[in-house]
Amino acid sequence: MPSDYSEDEFAVTITAFDGQFLVTLASVADVVVGQSLSQSGKTGQITGISGLDITLNTLAPWDNAAATVHNPIEVEIKWLPQYAGNPGFNKRWIELSFFFRDMALKPVTIGFTSNFSPAKETVELSANNSNPWGTGTWGLFTWGGGASGQQPLRTYFPREKVMALFAGISIEHDEAFVRFATNGVSLIYENMDTRFK
């Protein structure tokens, strides 16, 4: 993998693998949840640590050998304030849909702000398939896993952000070796009036 898909990295040694999602390391010094483990083209995100054991989010055949732990790059994408054509009309913001060209395996965090409520409020959105490749029962999931690829994800506006002149939208993500790309966002709203209290 290209080195620009993660921040700093450091070497570790895998001493045992349970055949599922549990990997034992010689030392877990500096290892934290959210980092990624890679070895010979295989990558998994660390979702739990107990003693020298780490739990990964992907099923892969890990070898008892050297591996690398990668720190994720924190990404935040902010759109310009969305006025829906007229900054003078008060609007009732109903829902939004993100159109992902590539969806990350880990949930993305959607941030909402508005002119009446400038403090950011967040919502987590996940890929539609809750069974990453290798964890589902045959016949009950999309061939190839379905946890990435083109898909829209919808959510409602938080209550404090519904009535506003404009809506501010952002996406946050932080996972090493996972790429996500968005084709855009669609906002659903109703014009209310030029007067408000």
54-74 pLDDT per residue, tens: 999 888 899 999 999 998 888
pLDDT at residue 11 greater than cutoff 90: yes
Q: What is the pLDDT of residues 71-102, one digit of tens each?
A: 888 889 999 999 998 888 899 999 999 888 76
- DSSP-derived secondary structure for the chain: --GGGSS-EEEEEEEEE-SSSEEEES--TT--TT-EEEETTEEEEEEEEETTEEEESS-----SSEEEEEPPPPEEEEPPPB-TT-TTS-EEEEEEEEEEEE--SSPEEEEEEESS--S-EEEEE--S-SS-TTSSPTTSS-TT--SSSSEEEEEEPPGGGSEES-EEEEEEE--TT---EEEEEEEEEEE--S---
Question: pLDDT-derived band of residue 23, with 50, 70 and 90 as boundaries?
Answer: very high
- What pTM, to 2 d.p., does this model score? 0.71
Portions of the chain given CATH number 2.40.30.20: 3-70
CATH level 3 topology of 3-70:
Elongation Factor Tu (Ef-tu); domain 3 (2.40.30)
